[in-house]
């Protein structure tokens, strides 16, 4: 009996040490979590390409390196181009805003015009004009601060890309080996372990494809619509639209609806109506309701309210990375609940807990 209890105690101690070791590894990786998490999703997305390269006779290590380096190059060039565009055009826009607000400027005259129209409503024109100009000046100052913050964050972004590349290479090269180790460490049935990790890969691919490719398409479509309708700096506003598309459906509205309303306020009614109509179709409806479902998959079985909770709750808890991490965690949680539900009849038959 003493020997058995001693063995049980040692087994429990080893289990707790294993949990502590995993917790320590996660704690050490937490500051680099964004890069590692994105790298894992990139690795999941590149696995089909990696398999095809290996099937053609390429060595697994070289195939993983080729996929990783190509993706890293594309991501780095795209990130630097986006940051440069936002900084340069944002500062230019802030300077233009200050000029338009000066006495006799276009924005100053427009504000005075609308303030005079509101006189019959007993709205003091001077008070309204001052409030609008103060808000516009604050917006210009905020744009300058955001540009400076973007410049300061460049190093952090590059560090994230480095660890993203390392994680993507590790997933491509060592995923099968890791799964063999997970089978030995996981307390779950091996088939459940494999099912959950397969679900993780599937959800990761879908979230990344739906977020990145749809955002790129919406940014390109937005730049085209803005150019056609005469929006100044269409590349800048297209880039902002692509960034706003991280929040599906709602995000891009903040950009193209604001631009359309600005046209209407500026008494450019034809341009405003055209911009709103084209944007609703080519930025809103087609990307979000035609392209995104084809990239992500239309049969997710996840209610819209759960998706919104995953997005906004993910941002509240994890920050910007929560736009990707929230849906992945939610998808995995639903997969676990479904697995538990499927096992319920088996537990009742065997008398398990």
Strands (E), the chain: none
Distance between CA 230 and CA 275 in Å, rounded? 9
Residue with tokens 């609308």: 114
- Percent of the chain at pLDDT > 70 equals 71
With bands split at pLDDT 50, 70 and 90, how would you rate the model's confidence at 67?
very high
pLDDT 10s digits, 186-232: 777 777 777 788 888 888 888 887 788 888 898 999 999 999 998 88
| pLDDT at residue 225, rounded to an integer | 92
Confidence at residue 30, expressed as pLDDT on a 0 to 100 scale: 74
- Among 14-18, 170-174, 207-211, 347-351, the minimum mean pLDDT is found in 347-351
Say whether pLDDT at 38 is over 90: no
What is the Cα–Cα distance from 36 to 164, expressed in whole angstroms? 5
The top-scoring range by mean pLDDT among 83-87, 89-93, 210-214, 343-347 is 210-214
pLDDT, residue 73, reads 93
Average pLDDT over residues 297-322: 70
Higher pLDDT pick, 51 / 142: 51
Q: Is the pLDDT of residue 25 over 50?
A: yes
- pLDDT interval class at 277 (50, 70, 90): very high
Predicted pLDDT at 123: 47
Residue 273 confidence (pLDDT) above 70: yes
Percent of the chain beyond pLDDT 90?
11
**pTM of the shown model:** 0.70
- pLDDT bucket at 121, cuts 50 / 70 / 90: very low
Instruction: Report the distance separating Cα 38 and Cα 183, nearest Å.
Output: 24
The structure tokens listed for 294 are 């084809």
Banded pLDDT at 168 (limits 50, 70, 90): very high
- Cβ neighbours around 26 below 10 Å, total: 10
Q: Higher-confidence residue: 183 or 63? A: 63
- pLDDT averaged over every residue in the chain: 75
Q: What sign does the CA torsion over 299, 175, 21, 6 have?
A: positive
- Which of 68, 335, 60, 347 shows the shortest CA–CA distance to 203? 335
Residue 1 has pLDDT above 50, yes or no: no
User: 180 or 39, which is more confident?
Assistant: 39
Can you tell me the distance from the alpha carbon of 271 to that of 225, in angstroms, rounded to the nearest whole number?
Answer: 11
pLDDT over threshold 90, residue 159: no
| Extents of the domains making up the chain | 33-135+144-177
């Amino acid at each position: 009996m003493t020997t058995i209890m001693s063995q049980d105690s040692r087994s429990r101690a080893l289990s707790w040490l294993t949990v502590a070791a995993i917790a320590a590894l996660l704690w050490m990786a937490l500051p680099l979590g964004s890069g590692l998490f994105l790298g894992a999703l990139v690795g999941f997305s590149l696995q089909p390409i990696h398999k095809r390269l290996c099937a053609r006779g390429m060595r697994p290590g070289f195939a993983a390196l080729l996929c990783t380096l190509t993706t890293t190059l594309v991501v780095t060039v795209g990130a630097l181009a986006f940051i440069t565009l936002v900084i340069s055009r944002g500062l230019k826009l802030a300077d233009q805003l200050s000029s338009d607000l000066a006495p006799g400027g276009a924005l100053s005259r427009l504000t005075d015009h609308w303030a005079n129209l509101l006189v019959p409503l007993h709205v003091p024109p001077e008070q309204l004009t001052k409030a609008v100009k103060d808000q516009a000046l604050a917006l210009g100052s905020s744009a300058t601060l955001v540009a400076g913050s973007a410049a300061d964050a460049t190093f952090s972004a590059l560090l994230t890309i480095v660890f993203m590349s390392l994680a993507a290479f590790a997933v491509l090269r060592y995923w099968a080996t890791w799964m063999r180790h997970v089978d030995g460490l996981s307390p779950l049935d091996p088939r459940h372990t494999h099912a959950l990790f397969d679900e993780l890969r599937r959800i990761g691919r879908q979230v990344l494809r739906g977020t990145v490719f749809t955002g790129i398409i919406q940014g390109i479509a937005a730049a085209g619509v803005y150019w056609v309708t005469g929006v100044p700096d269409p590349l800048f506003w297209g880039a902002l639209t692509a960034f706003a598309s991280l929040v599906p459906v709602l995000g891009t509205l903040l950009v193209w609806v604001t631009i359309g309303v600005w046209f209407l306020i500026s008494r450019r009614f034809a341009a405003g109506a055209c911009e709103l109509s084209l944007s609703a179709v080519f930025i809103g409806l087609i990307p979000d309701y035609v392209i995104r479902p084809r990239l992500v998959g239309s049969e997710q079985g996840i209610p819209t309210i759960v998706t919104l909770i995953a997005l906004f709750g993910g941002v509240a808890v994890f920050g910007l990375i929560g736009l990707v991490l929230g849906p992945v965690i939610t998808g995995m949680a639903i997969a676990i609940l479904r697995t538990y539900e499927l096992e319920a009849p088996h537990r009742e038959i065997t008398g398990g807990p």
